[in-house]
Structure 1
């Protein structure tokens, strides 16, 4: 699926996704494809996520160094619930967690960045 750039959103944006991964348009004009991805307002990083059942705060540390309101968690092809311990750890930092399937999270990323929301995203691969 191809996605158009949302208004004038700052930072990396997901331009599309498919079996190979997420196509990301970086602020410097380069484009990359990532099977799994961590996104902040300033960067897009390849990610080798643990199983969702093992996901913990340590796996998301690269996102937590920036001031964010919440993390969009793309759980793959379908919505799956993250561990309660992760939710509690993020809540203790004052950060919310919004799980959804990875396609929805990629679309939400562009909309929220266009609104200049302080958000980060962790996207699991669409196919395993």
Structure 2
């Protein structure tokens, strides 16, 4: 039996490590937004330090068409302050927080299921 990988039109996270992430074969070294929504390429997002995040970084994700936002908080799990995500919640968009490695894995699973998901990944240098 010959196995073939599934073809997906979604953006896929191929690999990740401390200070970098690889998406569809391209390596990035700064925080970014990854979207499973067709026609939405990876784009820069927020600062490179958790301590410098603010509500406007999360507010920028509201109009992107996601049903769920996965916040990758860097190499360790740190929860977003409630005031940072209240606009997302007010628009009925779910928010899950996890470390960036777990966010990458979870994003890939949800994207492969055809879900409208965005991963906001904090890449710490």
Displacement of 1:89 after TM fit?
1.7
Residue in 2 aligned with 1:100? 98
Larger radius of gyration: 2
Aligned pair 1:32/2:32, yes or no? no
1:23–1:53 CA distance, 2 compared to 1 (3 A): same
Structure 2 residues without counterparts, runs of 5 or longer: none
> 1:1-128, aligned counterparts within 5 Å?
7-25=6-24, 31-40=26-35, 41=37, 42-49=40-47, 51-125=49-123, 127-128=124-125
Q: Tell me the SS of whatever aligns to 1:16.
A: strand
Q: TM-score under structure 2 normalisation?
A: 0.79
Displacement of 1:20 after TM fit?
4.1
- Paired with 2:106 and 2:6, the residues of 1 have a C-alpha distance of 13
Q: TM-score under structure 1 normalisation?
A: 0.78
Number of residue pairs matched by the alignment: 118
When the two chains are superposed, the root-mean-square deviation of aligned CA atoms in Å is 2.2
